[in-house]
Structure 1
Amino acid sequence: MTSPLLYVDVWSDFVCPFCYLETPVLDQLRNAYGDAVEIRWHAFELRPEPAPLLDPNSERIVDAWEKSVRPLADERGLLMRMPPVAPRSRKAFETALFARESGRYDVVHRAIFKAYFEEGIDIGDTDALLDIAATCGIDPELLEESLDDGTYTDLVIEDEEFAKKLGVSGVPFAVLSREPAPGQEPPPPIALRGAAPIQHYEAAIERLFPDGFPGS
């Protein structure tokens, strides 16, 4: 197995359509570079307690879906429906972190996104999260215990605190960085904001690896 040469740290929220729209682009990246790229997802709640939740049927949201979300979903080959609920996402992040312990982070992470944006499931609801996780091979009883105890709450908050230090105010927000070449300083990391297309990632990789990506 190749050790990663390129790191992509992505801050996102499960309730943000543009974060889900970034997953096919990151899949493309992973397909192109294999194990030489490591994608690390981080939590970013757009509306943590006590921030008011959005009305899922508000004119602003309907408008954004019509003008931005649907066209991009068609372009990137994702089936997306406007969810009828606007939940909080902290428990969803804790569920994904719990899954990481058994190597099922990616499966559960994707399943939560799909449940919300394809089936309109309320991913703020613990029972819904237990069902989603169970279909991914996660023990629902152990997960429920972990959610009740808030085992992973601090890790979610840590991710968000770090995002604040970086000045992240919206998601998706990706930071690309690399291991330094022997005896050299690594080039500075490159940040990409919003649902960036694959071309933006490729351009960033060219800047990080001016002599070409090793092995590509």
Structure 2
Amino acid sequence: MSIGDFSPAGAEATAPVLHWYDFVCPFCYVGQDRSRILTKRGFTVLSIPLPIHPEIPQEGVEAGPRQGPMYEFLQNEARAAGLPLHWPARLPNTILALTVAEWVRRHEPGAFPALYAELFEAHFVRGEDIGALAVVQQHAAASGVDIPALTVAMTEPGPAQDVEQSSGLAEHFGIAGTPAWLVGSLAISGLRPRSEFEEFRSA
């Protein structure tokens, strides 16, 4: 397993930044802003999945109250990044959404940025159940994904194995949570300040 294994088909050989995320993670939702900063600094950022709550049942669970300093911090960071944030009432199981997104990133990379943003927005802005196949397919179709090809792919073991491979690479680099970025040999875990990302420069 190598970083090159995660580049989309036909991509040039580069030294990308790997970014691990989960759609249920509010720090990852705001982390879209940090990845945008790296992109503006000249980096290629590959966003790859790391399921952080695979134990959530398929029907999801009640989220409970969102109060305290951590939630105030996230509200402020989302506002600074220009990202609306409305806490959803339920937490979904995101394995399906992550599997679909990773297949799209690998096989239809042109549609991935839109789908990636759409699924985050579906959860953190509109409160949609992104654990539901119909919801994920709706956003995939809106993002320009070939739905018949996706449907066939989801019946095969490869997409799920790709998510497992991404999780294995995170473990290899000592990354246990999201969001996380691997910039060269430097692993960054958690939602670090914007100023720290603005200090990076690509070679």
Determine if the TM-score, normalized by the shorter chain, exceeds 0.5.
yes
1:50–1:195 CA distance, 2 compared to 1 (3 A): closer
Decide whether aligned partners of structure 1 residues 116 and 150 sit closer, same or farther in structure 2, where only a CA change above 3 A counts: farther
Candidates 151, 157, 176, aligned match of 2:183? 176
Q: Is the 8 A contact 1:90 1:124 kept in 2?
A: yes
1:74 aligns with 2:70: no
What is the aligned counterpart of 2:173 among 166, 175, 190?
166
Tell me, yes or no, if structure 1 residue 32 matches structure 2 residue 28.
Answer: no
* 3-state SS, counterpart of residue 149 of structure 1: coil
Asked if 1:21 is matched to 2:26, the reply is no
Q: Distance in 2 between matches of 1:17 and 1:145?
A: 31
Compared CA separation, residues 113 and 64, structure 1 to 2 (3 A): farther
CA contact (8 A) 1:94 1:153 kept: yes
Aligned with residue 194 of structure 1, among 184, 190, 194: 190
Provide the aligned length of Structure 1 versus Structure 2: 189
1:59-103 deviations in Å (ceiling 9; x for gaps) = 4x4446642221111121111110122111111111112222122
TM-score scaled by structure 1? 0.77
Percent of aligned pairs with the same amino acid? 22
- Please state whether the residue corresponding to 2:45 is helix, strand or coil: strand
Instruction: Check conservation: 2:28, 2:178, Cα contact below 8 A.
Output: yes
4+ runs of 1 displaced by more than 3 Å? 3-6, 49-55, 61-66, 148-151
TM (normalized to structure 2)? 0.82
| Change in CA separation of 1:63 and 1:54 when aligned onto 2, cut-off 3 Å | farther
Residues in 1 aligned to 2:35 and 2:20: alpha-carbon distance in whole angstroms: 13
Shift of 1:138: 1.3
User: 1:44 offset after TM fit, Å?
Assistant: 0.8
Which protein has greater RCO, CA pairs closer than 8 Å, 6+ apart? 2
Report how far residue 173 of structure 1 moved.
0.9
Give the structure 2 partner of residue 152 of structure 1. 159
The question of whether the paired residues in 2 share the 8 Å contact of 1:9 and 1:41 is answered with: yes
Q: Which has the larger radius of gyration?
A: 1
Q: Does 1:98 align with 2:120?
A: no
| Structure 1: stretches of 5+ with no match in the other structure | 178-188, 207-212
Name the SS of the counterpart of 1:122 in structure 2: coil
**Superposed displacement of residue 126, structure 1:** 0.6
Equivalent AA in structure 1 for residue 108 of structure 2:
S
- Which digits, 9 at most, give the CA deviation of each residue in 1:46-66, with x for residues without a partner? 111478965312x4x444664
Tell me if the contact between 1:131 and 1:140 (Cα under 8 Å) persists in the aligned partners: no
Measured in 1, the distance between the counterparts of 2:100 and 2:69 equals: 28
Match of 2:37, SS state, is helix
Q: State the AA in 1 paired with 2:25.
A: C
Displacement, 1:139? 2.6
Map 1:128-143 to 2 at 5 A: 128-143=135-150
Alignment check: 8 A CA contact 2:41 2:198 kept:
no
2:113 pairs with 1:113: no
